[in-house]
Amino acid sequence: MTGWTQKTRALMAAMALAVLPVCAQDAPRGRAQNSQQNQPQLTSTPQAGYTLRMNGELVLTDVVARDAKTGEFIRGLKQSDFKIYENGKEQQIATFDFQSVDMATPLNEATVSGLAGGPNGNGSKAVVVTRPEELRNHRLIVMFFDLTSMQPEDLERSVDAAQDFLRTKMQPADLVALVSLGDTLSVDQDFTADKNALINEVGAYNGTEGQGFAQGANANTNQVEDTTGYTPDESEYNDINTDRELFALRAISQSLSKISVKKSLLYFSGGISRDGIENEASLRAAINAAVRADLAIYSVDTRGLQAVLPLGDASTGSLRGSGAYNGGALMNNMNQNFATQEVMATLSSDTGGKAFFDSNDFAPAFAQVQKDTSAYYAIGFRSTNPARDGKYRKLTVKIDRPGIKLEYRPGYYAPADFRHSGREDREQELEDQLASDLPATDIPVYLDAMYFRLDENRFYVPVSLLVPGSQIPFVKGGDKDKATLDIIGAVIDEVKRPVGRVRETVKLNLDQSLGARQKNIEYTTGFDLPPGKYDLKFVVRENQTGRMGSFEATITLPDLKRAPLKMSSIVLASMLEPSKKDNPLVHNGQEFVPNISHVFRQDQHLYLLYEVYEPARDKEHPGEPKLPKDAIDLLSSLELIQGSTKVYETPLVAARQVNVQGRDAVAVQLEVPLTGLKAGEYICQLNVVDDAAGSFAFPRFAMLVRPPNTGAGTQATAGQASGGGN
């Protein structure tokens, strides 16, 4: 168990350095477990539901047998009652086991010991099992309190519910751990059966009101201001904090991955907000890490039952406009409440847990965890298919008794040997992964997509992929660091038709002086697409070991015909590259290389680019100088806000003429030297005013500035391509 604390500390250190790109993958459908080959593991995994683990050539699947009418668990079944099939072919059962918490052996204090030091090096109060076999038939429960998202009254309710469970419902088979996220991620109590230690430790969370108001914390309310009046776009305000919360879940999952028993996590949170694909990578990474660790997440909305009021509450400013009377404000409030619960619901559904919303009684969450992890049958077989092709294999489990319903994982991926596969097999592997519902997460990948209008019915969509150089096994060749990446991607429209595709092999041949392993390797491509909603999926494979990473996201290209201010996406860049290409990212022979992570160093410049389409023509007024033909009056500036203080603002930039010929567009470029800024998190507000039309926009986005020696925000381009669409 010491590995949990050590790995948690390592990830905490990584989190402290920068908000870096993380694993990017699509959420798994159901639950799967891709295990490591040839590593000793327990031969049984307690759980309810379904999962799968591979141990060498042994395939294990856990089966829950229930009465088809009553839903009660069926005991007393034997190995001869079951038959298991792989891709329709019957397999010989090699191992069979039944585990139940009713058979748990009480822990002997002589067999447990405390950790040498907690995650913060302050010593540990933990009492942990030192031998894996001691965990047989036990139930492992992690209680995770996200203090950054909870208000004092929410914290009070969750602490009371946890203490009541520990006093009255905790069973001898239960081992419980306590983790919290405040200023840092902290393992406050490792797994223990000591009720008093747990009750005392969870009580320490009570009265920590200040942590509930940490900078960037999510507001504990379902009320939003009336959007029929002016409201600045703060949709990305909490992106950094949301990533931090999801990083914490990923850290816990990875730290528990070597414990080969079923684990459950009760996630107490006041809601998580995300905006489109901004937090998609960290969400996918958190889900996949939990699935691989056999960790089911049970989300509990600590705000409880809420009244959604059309007039709002004291947490927001007074309403303006008619929204309070025509239903607009009520709908906004309900949508906001749903949005803060959507991520929690996704975490639960995609890891095999359940979400508990809109209730002041948290007891059912504890009861559900205990019910789902009470008993199961573990069936193991050695596949008769020797191919190490990495393909999906369907599992079917049958029972020779009527009236019994079986719950089990319906399939798994076979092991793959990349080094011994041929060219055709490697190409098919990429195609299979692109078509797969399950993500590839061996290497972290992050994706960002933007849009620029080319004409009324066509957009240019630049897509950028980012892979940390530390994840690529470079080979030294003279004074060069060399590596090869295979990249495949597809764009799918709303009726599931492929409308764009990329397939490219990128050869990296970088000077060793660049320190490629300390940089982010970025690949860019682009598509021409009409307005609409599209799914993007990209797969990246490094060709030294064959490890892959994938990312799936959705982008909506808006119909700008009726928009009062027609704007493109906003591009942030920390570097410009010479380029002769013809696309909206290139100006005066210099291409803006998007900084996907929004992490910059103090010795860099922030370059900002956006476009405005069909700006209004300025009108002449009596007594004023005569205006040039087709004159416009577009004003732009950028503000940097830290906390509640504006620390920097660029001079006002005025555009008087259209400067993008053939597209009736104005391209606006801003530059901010970051040398004079303190390291830390900033909210950037872009002020855009079309004075001739009387229209305006004030989009906001998050940014992180690090000291010069951190290596954060460094990029090396891996190559570029162009794609097409219908």
pLDDT in tens, 481-510: 888 999 999 999 999 999 999 999 999 887
Contact 158, 149 (CB under 8 A): no
Task: Output 59 or 78, whichever has higher pLDDT.
Answer: 78
Strand ranges in 558-714 using DSSP code E only, listed in sequence order: 566-567, 571-578, 586-587, 590-594, 599-601, 605-613, 634-642, 645-649, 653-655, 665-673, 680-690, 695-697, 700-706
Contact 42, 136 (CB under 8 A): yes
Range with lowest mean pLDDT among 165-169, 368-372, 633-637 = 368-372
Task: Render pLDDT for 676-697 as a digit per residue (tens, 0 to 9).
Answer: 899 999 999 999 999 988 999 9
Q: CA torsion 45→51→52→53, rounded to 10°?
A: -50
Q: How much is the average pLDDT of 435-442?
A: 83
Of 22-26, 303-307, 717-721, the range with the highest mean pLDDT is 303-307
* Burial class for 388, CB neighbours closer than 10 Å (0-12, 13-18, 19+): middle
Of 208-212, 247-251, 487-491, 578-582, the range with the highest mean pLDDT is 487-491
Contact 85, 396 (CB under 8 A): yes
Domains of the chain: 136-375 (3.40.50.410), 425-720 (2.60.40.3880)
pLDDT exceeds cutoff 60 at 15? no
Range with lowest mean pLDDT among 108-122, 305-319, 351-365, 461-475 = 108-122
Q: How much is the average pLDDT of 184-195?
A: 86
**Residue 136: per-residue pLDDT:** 67
Range with lowest mean pLDDT among 348-352, 466-470, 525-529 = 348-352
Average pLDDT, the chain: 76
Task: Output 340 or 41, whichever has higher pLDDT.
Answer: 340
Spatial separation of the C-alpha atoms in residues 605 and 673, rounded to whole Å = 4
Locate tokens 């005025």: which residue?
A: 654
Spatial separation of the C-alpha atoms in residues 596 and 614, rounded to whole Å = 28
Q: Which residues pair with 181 in a beta bridge?
A: 146, 185
Q: Around Cβ 16, how many Cβ atoms within 10 Å?
A: 8
**Residue 125: per-residue pLDDT:** 44
The contacts of residue 624 (CB under 8 Å, 6+ apart) are none
pLDDT exceeds cutoff 80 at 425? no
Spatial separation of the C-alpha atoms in residues 79 and 289, rounded to whole Å = 32
Q: Give me 555's structure tokens.
A: 């982008």
Q: Give me 32's structure tokens.
A: 């799967």
Q: How much is the average pLDDT of 388-417?
A: 77
**Residue 256: per-residue pLDDT:** 84
pLDDT exceeds cutoff 80 at 44? no
Q: Give me 621's structure tokens.
A: 């007024």
| CA gyration radius, the chain | 28
Tell me 173's DSSP state.
T
The contacts of residue 458 (CB under 8 Å, 6+ apart) are 528, 529, 530
* 452, containing H or E segment: strand 452-455
Locate tokens 């528990």: which residue?
A: 256
In three-state secondary structure terms, 28 is: coil
**Residue 210: per-residue pLDDT:** 34
**Nearest-CA neighbor of 538 among 574, 496, 487?**
487
Q: How confident is the model at residue 326 (pLDDT cuts 50, 70, 90)?
A: low
Q: Around Cβ 498, how many Cβ atoms within 10 Å?
A: 11
In three-state secondary structure terms, 137 is: coil
Q: How much is the average pLDDT of 452-456?
A: 93
DSSP string, 511-572: EGGG-GGGSEEEEEEEEEE-SEEEEEEEEEEETTT--EEEEEEEEEE--GGG-SSEE-PPEE
pTM: 0.53
**Residue 412: per-residue pLDDT:** 63
Q: Give me 236's structure tokens.
A: 């990305």
Q: How much is the average pLDDT of 709-721?
A: 62
Tell me 693's DSSP state.
T
Specify the amino acid at residue 521. Answer: I
pLDDT exceeds cutoff 50 at 221? no
**Residue 552: per-residue pLDDT:** 92
Task: Output 57 or 107, whichever has higher pLDDT.
Answer: 57
Q: Give me 427's structure tokens.
A: 């190409």
Q: How confident is the model at residue 407 (pLDDT cuts 50, 70, 90)?
A: confident
Specify the amino acid at residue 261. Answer: V
Measure Cα distances from 663 to 124, 458, 567, 659 in Å.
64, 11, 13, 9
pLDDT exceeds cutoff 80 at 12? no
Q: Around Cβ 686, how many Cβ atoms within 10 Å?
A: 21
Sign of the alpha-carbon dihedral angle for 218, 600, 288, 29: positive
Q: How confident is the model at residue 722 (pLDDT cuts 50, 70, 90)?
A: very low
Measure Cα distances from 715 to 175, 484, 512, 522, 601 in Å.
45, 17, 14, 7, 12
Contact 346, 338 (CB under 8 A): no
Spatial separation of the C-alpha atoms in residues 460 and 160, rounded to whole Å = 54
Which alpha helices (DSSP H) does 413-527 contain, by range? 423-435
Q: How much is the average pLDDT of 421-439?
A: 82
Tell me 394's DSSP state.
E
Task: Render pLDDT for 337-364 as a digit per residue (tens, 0 to 9).
Answer: 666 778 888 888 777 788 898 788 888 9
Q: How confident is the model at residue 333 (pLDDT cuts 50, 70, 90)?
A: low
Range with lowest mean pLDDT among 204-208, 316-320, 447-451, 633-637 = 316-320
pLDDT exceeds cutoff 60 at 87? yes
Phi and psi, residue 572, nearest 5°: -105, 135
Locate tokens 């929004």: which residue?
A: 598
Range with lowest mean pLDDT among 89-93, 228-232, 356-360, 664-668 = 228-232
Range with lowest mean pLDDT among 129-143, 146-160, 247-261 = 129-143
Spatial separation of the C-alpha atoms in residues 606 and 600, rounded to whole Å = 8
**Residue 151: per-residue pLDDT:** 84
Range with lowest mean pLDDT among 419-423, 512-516, 704-708, 720-724 = 720-724
Spatial separation of the C-alpha atoms in residues 493 and 726, rounded to whole Å = 10
Spatial separation of the C-alpha atoms in residues 5 and 3, rounded to whole Å = 5
* 245, containing H or E segment: helix 239-256
Sign of the alpha-carbon dihedral angle for 345, 346, 347, 351: positive
Task: Output 190 or 460, whichever has higher pLDDT.
Answer: 460
Task: Render pLDDT for 599-629 as a digit per residue (tens, 0 to 9).
Answer: 999 999 999 999 999 999 887 666 666 677 7
Spatial separation of the C-alpha atoms in residues 538 and 430, rounded to whole Å = 10
Q: Around 648, how many Cα atoms within 13 Å sit in the side-chain half-sphere?
A: 16
**Residue 114: per-residue pLDDT:** 31
**Residue 482: per-residue pLDDT:** 86
Contact 481, 496 (CB under 8 A): no
Tell me 374's DSSP state.
S
Phi and psi, residue 45, nearest 5°: -135, 105
**Residue 593: per-residue pLDDT:** 92
Q: How confident is the model at residue 545 (pLDDT cuts 50, 70, 90)?
A: confident
Measure Cα distances from 35 to 32, 41, 137, 629 in Å.
10, 10, 21, 68
**Residue-level length of the chain:** 726
In this structure, the strands spanning 548-557 and 411-413 are unpaired
**Residue 469: per-residue pLDDT:** 85
